[in-house]
Amino acid sequence: MTEYVKFLVYRYRPEDGKKGVYADYDVPVKKGMTVLDGLIYIKENLDPTLSVRFSCRMAICGSCGMRVNGLEMLACHTQILGLRRKHIIVEPMRNFPLLRDLVTDMTPLFMKQKALKTWLIRRDELEQENPTIQYLQSEEELGKYLQFTYCIQCGLCYSACPVVSTFPAFLGPQSLMKVYRYFADSRDEVGRERVSFVDKFEGVWRCHFAGSCSAVCPKGVDPALAIQLLRREALK
């Protein structure tokens, strides 16, 4: 017998000029189906107006971040039967402007990263663009930042952060983590100036260490740790 799970999905249309509402849909569920599969089923069979963003369906692209039963998750990485509920509440991420239904505007995350120059920078730009030698690192050097490279920029940590909720100017866990990632990379030549980018009220000192960023990260990245390591560098 087919098992059904009721999806309560947050629906928001900016052109209506009203707050969003919850719409419910009965979704037939099979073993292995993800929340994203359920939303695609709704879109293809029950309501084609539902807006949801996704691409890879394998927890790589970072497009399908949302809240499922109140917790930040990747929809493509969350099995419906694994939730062990007959009702699933699906809502957009917090702390981002909402564009439509489950689709948020990720601009705040990307702008903060851009302002903090979260990419590898070397003094010799020509060499960086067209390297003439290999820039090898030891295992120990790699270990200093490896886990932070697993970030897929899904924004779930930013959505879960209680400080961003109350103080949107806070640079946020993901951007701060990225600053540490490049600070700790032996190939980067910005050096301690990177720490000065974040040694300020809206930077590392505003974190309350709630730890929700690290708790929700689907890739096992620990932004809260990176913020603590940056604080240690700032104190030095």
Interface positions with ligand FES (CB under 6 A): 54-57, 59-64, 74, 76
Q: Which of 174, 181, 190, 230 binds ligand SF4 (CB under 6 A)?
A: 174
Q: With contact defined as beta carbons under 8 Å apart, do 92 and 68 qualify?
A: no
Q: Which of 54, 202, 219, 234 binds ligand SF4 (CB under 6 A)?
A: 219
Query: How many positions of this chain bind ligand SF4 (CB under 6 A)?
Result: 14
**Residue 229 lies near ligand SF4 (rule: CB under 6 A):** no
Residue 221's binding partner among ligand FES, ligand SF4, none (Cβ under 5 to 8 angstroms by kind) is ligand SF4
Q: With contact defined as beta carbons under 8 Å apart, do 223 and 176 qualify?
A: yes
**Residue 64 lies near ligand SF4 (rule: CB under 6 A):** no
Alpha-carbon distance 60 to 153, whole Å? 10
The residue among 43 and 117 lying less far from ligand SF4, judged by its C-beta, is 117
State the residues that interact with ligand SF4 by CB under 6 A: 151-157, 174, 177, 216-217, 219, 221, 223
